[in-house]
Copies of this chain bind each other. A is one copy, B any other.
Amino acid sequence: MVYSMPARTHGRPRDSRTHAAILSATVALIVDAGYGALTIVGVAARAGVGKDAIYRRWSGKPELVYEAVFTSADADPIPDTGTLIGDVTILVERLVDEFAAPAAAVALPGLLADFADQPALRMRIREDLLAGVKARLVEVFDRAAARGELVADVPVELILDSLAGTVLFHVGLVGAPVTPELPRHLAAMVVTGIKTR
């Protein structure tokens, strides 16, 4: 809902079915046509809606796509495996699932390109994308500290960028299939890198 334009208070209310149809059509087109091939006209046609109804809600294609794709605010906590490496491994696996999801993987590069000249929006993407991850990462570190497995002064931001950056580099840039071992190896490298500082 972040990028939607506000509705007026008087007059005929917006039809929620129209809203849903637009978002649904956007996701569908993203997945089987790609970000570049997606057009506002195409979304309108697929949703059985006038262009007007779209421009009334979103200021453009990037804003529409962002809301359509990155709305799932899943905050499932990381289960306690008993070890820091185990917890981080699961966290990385979640990260892979998230970035490798069809809609997200296809949309992200295009969004970054379209928001290239808007640092504020890029920053917002990063926040929205990593807010949940960061919260869970902090919790995982707290558990490790409680176990005495970890000294204080954990560089959370660096670790966040390392984990997310590495995974994103695979999925977004290389597009290579993520091997099942990657999360474990990556987690092991980062965790041992932190613990023996």
Residues of A at the B interface (CB closer than 8 Å) are 34-36, 106, 109-110, 112-114, 116-117, 119, 122-123, 125-126, 155, 158-159, 161-162, 164-170, 172-176, 182, 185-186, 188-194, 196-197
Contacts and interface: CB of A to CB of B under 8 A. Distances in A.
Given A113-B114, A122-B174, A126-B173, 9 more contacts: A34-B116, A34-B117, A36-B113, A36-B114, A106-B116, A125-B173, A164-B169, A165-B167, A189-B194
A116 to B, nearest CB: 6
Each complex incorporates copies of this chain amounting to: 2
A34 B118 CA distance: 11
Contacts of A114: 36, 113
Contacts of A172: 112
Given A169-B168, A186-B162, A190-B189, A196 B196 contact: yes
A122 B175 contact: yes
Contacts of A125: 173
A155 B188 CA distance: 12
